[in-house]
Amino acid sequence: MRIDFLTLFPAMFEGVLGQSILKKAQEKNAVHFNVINFRDYADDKHQNVDDYPYGGGAGMVLKPQPIFDAVEAIKKESETKPRIILVCPQGVTYTQKKAEELAKEEHLLFICGHYEGYDDRIREHLVTDEISIGDFVLTGGELPSMVIADSVVRLLPDVLGNEDSPVLDSFSSGLLEHPHYTRPGDFRGMKVPDVLLSGNHKFIDEWREKESLRRTAERRPDLLNNYPLSKKQKQWLKEFEK
């Protein structure tokens, strides 16, 4: 997979892309990152990328020309057609399902805005997806684009090492993930559930499924509205209510 970031602040990406799973993914050639300063594509001698909004108002608006030229340059040299993502508060709320969808693409291109907003011609004529990571406003699109990239890259084949890891994640199954424990079995009087020490994998799997359902019912009951509950899971929910 190839992931491009169009940004005015390339240095923001250095620490994130060069650490942990994202670093390992690059070393395995599962992903290739390009961080591009779209100021380099500005066509005036001062390299201006923003201007005052027509009609007046606060703040500055990103001009279409630098971003159009940057996207067109990337498309021209790319072997694949990119999925162009605009990270903005007006976009659809990001979900694990969307991450799984994007992980199937060969090329993602993130447009990271700053200032008051974008010239809307960027939104209308360049972008394939508008995505928001939540109902709040940040100073720019760099952090959201890195969050989305991280969630996508970890789903790529062989990146995590254990093929079951992304399948068992919260939201991937439709439920929140079950609790986890490790050594020691008894820490300051707080003990690991006996079933996890039993060695009986059938019982362990059932315990994990039940605890996943319990945690979802307690913390995110809205996720159960469209979840296809089995007969056994419906019985567990009745037990929880009691």
Q: Which residues form the catalytic set? A: 89, 116, 154, 169
Task: Output phi, psi for 69, to 5 deg.
Answer: -65, -40
Would you say 69 is a known binding-site residue? Answer: no
Query: Exposed/middle/buried for 195, CB within 10 Å: 0-12, 13-18, 19+?
Result: middle
The answer, yes or no, to whether the previous bond of 184 is cis (omega within 30 of 0) is: yes
91 annotated binding-site participant: no
- Phi/psi region, residue 171 (left: phi>0; alpha: psi -120 to 50; beta: rest), is left
113 is in an annotated binding site: yes
Is 67 assigned a ligand-binding role in the annotation?
Answer: no
The answer to the question of whether 195 is labelled as a binding residue is no
How many other C-beta atoms are found inside a 10 Å radius of the C-beta of residue 131? 23
Tell me if 159 sits within 8 A of 151, measured CB to CB: no
In angstroms, the Cα distances linking 79 to 6, 25, 83, 202 are: 18, 21, 13, 48
Specify the length of the chain in residues: 242
For residue 115, give the DSSP letter.
T
Distance CA 86, CA 111 (A): 5
Residues in binding site for S-adenosyl-L-methionine: 113, 133-138
Residues in binding site: 113, 133-138
